[in-house]
C-alpha cells in the first residue's frame, strides 16, 4: 500500500537524446553521399517578413544544416514581397538541380496566399511534407515526405521501443501540421486511432482510454490527471509560455518546480506544453518534457527529410539518364 501511495514519476522521454542520434545519422549520410556520389544535399529556406519567432526558427534550421554538412540557403524577403515575386523564387528553386529541399517558413504575411505558395513547391522537394501530393500519399499509407513533428514522434516511439500495434492512440488536435498527419502515421503503425480536438465534448472520456496520447492544441494545462489512463505514454507537443509563479506551482511537478520558478524570476516566463505535468507525472508511464521533448525532434527530422528528398530525386535521375 505504501508503495502505491508514493508511486514513482513517469519516465521522461528524452527528445534531445533521440534528436542527437538522428542528427549523427544524417551527418554520416552526408559524408557518405559526398564521398560516393560527389554532392552535399542542399536545403533552401525562405522567410518572408520580420516575425521574431520565425527568425529564430529559421536561424536554428540553417545552423543545424551547416553543422551536419548540408548546404543551406537562407532567402530572407521583405514583408512587402508580392505573391508573384515569392512564386517566382519558388519556381527558381524548383528548377535548380542542386537544391534538394525547399521550406517556406510559416506564418506568411497576411496578404500572401499560404496554400497557393505551399502547393507551388515541387512535391519531391517538399521537406515540410505539406504539399497535397505528399499529404495524399501519407493518407494512403504510402511512402512520402511526412511533416517533421509527427515523423519525429514516430521516431521517438520506435527508438524507445514503445509498442503501437493494437494499442489505442488518441490524438488531441486536428491541424494539418501535427494532428491529422499524426493520426495517419499511427494508423500505418497498426494503432487504433481516435482523433479529438479542442471542441470535443467530454474529452476526458476519450483520452482516458489512450495507451498513447498525443496532445497538440496550444492550451496550457488542458490535459489533467482525469484525462489519463494509468501508465499511458503521453506526447506533449504544446509550446506555451507562462509568467505567473502561482500558475507554475499548479502545473509543474515538485521535481521541476524550483527550476521553473527560477527561470520565471530570471527571464520573466518559462515554457510549458498542453499537459499539467504536476498531475500527469504520477499517473503516466512515460511523458515528453517541454522543452526538451518533441520540439528538438522537428528540426532533426527536417534534416532527415532533406537527405530522403535528395536520394529520391537524384538517384532516380541518375538511373534514367
Catalytic residue numbers, as ranges:
61, 105, 128
Give the Å distances, CA to CA, from 311 to 37, 246, 308.
11, 51, 5
- Which H/E stretch holds residue 75? strand 71-77
The whole-angstrom separation of Cα 145 and Cα 157 is: 19
Cell numbers linked to 228 = 489519463
State the virtual CA torsion across 51, 54, 58, 59 in degrees, nearest 10: 60
Q: Exposed (0-12), middle (13-18) or buried (19+): which is 315, by Cβ within 10 Å?
A: exposed
| Pairing of the two strands 270-272 and 240-242 | antiparallel
Contact by Cβ (8 Å): 276, 225: yes
What are 215's strand-pairing partners? 172, 236
Helix/strand/coil percentages in the chain, nearest 5 = 50, 15, 35
Q: What backbone phi and psi angles, to 5 degrees, belong to 270?
A: -145, 160
State the virtual CA torsion across 207, 208, 213, 217 in degrees, nearest 10: 40
The whole-angstrom separation of Cα 188 and Cα 249 is: 39
| Pairing of the two strands 212-215 and 233-236 | parallel
Amino acid at each position: 500500500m505504501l508503495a502505491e501511495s508514493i508511486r514513482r514519476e513517469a519516465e521522461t522521454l528524452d527528445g534531445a537524446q533521440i534528436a542527437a542520434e538522428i542528427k549523427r545519422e544524417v551527418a554520416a549520410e552526408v559524408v557518405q553521399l559526398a564521398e560516393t556520389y560527389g554532392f552535399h544535399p542542399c536545403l533552401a529556406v525562405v522567410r518572408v517578413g520580420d516575425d521574431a519567432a520565425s527568425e529564430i526558427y529559421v536561424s536554428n534550421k540553417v545552423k543545424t544544416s551547416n553543422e551536419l554538412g548540408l548546404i543551406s540557403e537562407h532567402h530572407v524577403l521583405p514583408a512587402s514581397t508580392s505573391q508573384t515575386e515569392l512564386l517566382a523564387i519558388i519556381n527558381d528553386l524548383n528548377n535548380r538541380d542542386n537544391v534538394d529541399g525547399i521550406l517556406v517558413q510559416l506564418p506568411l504575411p497576411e496578404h500572401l496566399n499560404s496554400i497557393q505558395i505551399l502547393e507551388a513547391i515541387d512535391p519531391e522537394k517538399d521537406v515540410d511534407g505539406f504539399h497535397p501530393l505528399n499529404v495524399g500519399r501519407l493518407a494512403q499509407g504510402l511512402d512520402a515526405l511526412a511533416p517533421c513533428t509527427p515523423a519525429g514522434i514516430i521516431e521517438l516511439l520506435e527508438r524507445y521501443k514503445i509498442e503501437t500495434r493494437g494499442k489505442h492512440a488518441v490524438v488531441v488536435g486536428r491541424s494539418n501540421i501535427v494532428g491529422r498527419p499524426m493520426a495517419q502515421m499511427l494508423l500505418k503503425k497498426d494503432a487504433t486511432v481516435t482523433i479529438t480536438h479542442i471542441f470535443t465534448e467530454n474529452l476526458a472520456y476519450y483520452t482516458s482510454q489512450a495507451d498513447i496520447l498525443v496532445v497538440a492544441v496550444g492550451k496550457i494545462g488542458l490535459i489533467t490527471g482525469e484525462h489519463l489512463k494509468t501508465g499511458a505514454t503521453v506526447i506533449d507537443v504544446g509550446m506555451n509560455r507562462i509568467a505567473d509563479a502561482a500558475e507554475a506551482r499548479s502545473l509543474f511537478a515538485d521535481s521541476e518546480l524550483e527550476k521553473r520558478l527560477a527561470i520565471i524570476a530570471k527571464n520573466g516566463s518559462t515554457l510549458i506544453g498542453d499537459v499539467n505535468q504536476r498531475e500527469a507525472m504520477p499517473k503516466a508511464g512515460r511523458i515528453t518534457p517541454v522543452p526538451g521533448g518533441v520540439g528538438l525532434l522537428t528540426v532533426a527530422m527536417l534534416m532527415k527529410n532533406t537527405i530522403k528528398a535528395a536520394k529520391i530525386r537524384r538517384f532516380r535521375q541518375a538511373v534514367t539518364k
